[in-house]
Structure 1
Amino acid sequence: MNNLRVIGTEHIGKVEFTGIEGGFGKNKKAMLVKDIAQIHSKEVKAINQAINMNRSRFREGIDLVDLKQVNQIDLFSELGFTRAQWGNANHIYLLSERGYAKLLKILDDDKAWDIYDQLVDNYFNMRVAIKNNEPSLVQQRRLSIMEENSATRKANMLYKLAMATTSESSKQALIAKSAEVLTGEMTVPVMKKKEYSAGKIAKELNISGKKVGMIANKLGLKAEQPGQNEYGRWANSKSKYSDKEVPQWFYTEKGLQAIKKEISLDRR
């Protein structure tokens, strides 16, 4: 990673933040999540959560760097952190312009787009284009991101339709169409193995859903979010109590058998 350099205090409207160069190439600007959160009037943990839930979309060293994983910690005070804040944080993300643009697609609100214009015009490298009387480059970049965001929303809609249908063939066709919207290629996915929610396992084994979760935790069946393993995978499902989607662990056949075996041992 290129050496970081604090270049001073920058301004977006009335908000002050730390100007940073390095990390993603010589003279390339970067931004801390804590400053992005302040500019967007959001909590740091909300921005970190948005990144963590979409971590596979961000390329390490190109879109973001987790400064907690870097040995160069002597700058923590210059970056606006106390020693305690630095030590207690799980992640301290630094985003490039490209990484910020990806985050913007996740946030996707009118205020985010207005702020994007200001940051591009006045902070990131594209301000050079404006000084050279090439403001159209900024608009082209914004339109490109908006088109990508529209494709992402369409793909998500197709995927949700796929998950709602009871026809396996229709489900796979919709998933393939979703992949085509995102990648331009019609990818026929491998048929998904049968999966079980905790509720289904509880009903089948005549135990409570809480008991299923306790056994899974005891045996260490669940992967770290948002991963998967031979016993199951994490996926977002609609909450019973609101319109929000929440992470839920779905068990494979091997996961089901592991819980069955543990119950049979307990009953001996």
Structure 2
Amino acid sequence: MNELQITELNGQRVLTTQQIADGYGTTNKVISNNFNNNRTRFEEGKHFVLLVGEYLKEFLHSQNLGTQNKIRKLYLWTEKGALLHAKSLGTDEAWDMYDILVDTYFKVKEEKQAPLTLDQQIAAIATGYGSVKEELVEVKDRVSDLEENAPLSAGEYNYIGSRINQRVAEVARGYGKITREQRGKLFKDINQGVKVVTGVSTRTQLRAKHFDTVVDFTNNWEPSTATKMQLRQMSFDFEE
């Protein structure tokens, strides 16, 4: 168990299908069949996250797996997703490994001391520990920092990806039939715009504070003039 590679998405620990299969003493195919046979029990964003397209490329790159170009989609399982698989498989080995995962792999989130609420910290300060004014300022700064850097939830992360895919499809329809390369130009344009308006270098670095900005940008996104000219030129080349 100590050799299990840490896999994280937006600061939350997850497991790949391969990791669950290895831990539960079975195969990827069994895990996939178990998922398909119990599909109604698994809820996206709660039990698993499905990565495709640019999200998948960025994730593989962040995990130093950028060379695995043949991967077209990747399921990442949360702690609750791992529990559902253990329940569905029902083997002693699966349950034993799930207990180990909870006690070690996923326990890291429990070991991080939960910050006190602002009211609780103010109350503690008011009891006489240190300078009330100085401690109050420090508490407010810490709370602001926590709010500023809160990660996107899995559901928000997935929604942004879906909305970007939808918006690209909407714009692409205006060009009639386009090639995969042309569609790639549109994705490159919108993803670059997301990075510009949020100030992040990769989409996996997005935080909760960016959610409304990204959604608003995506809803109003139009390709840049340079991208439009590239698409038209590629259409001319295709017709020739």
The bucket for the TM-score relative to the shorter chain is 0.3 to 0.5
In the superposition, the TM-score normalised over structure 2's length comes to: 0.40
Could you say which structure has the greater relative contact order, defined with CA pairs below 8 angstroms and 6 or more residues apart? 2
Q: TM-score with structure 1 length normalisation? A: 0.36
Give the structure with the higher percent strand.
1
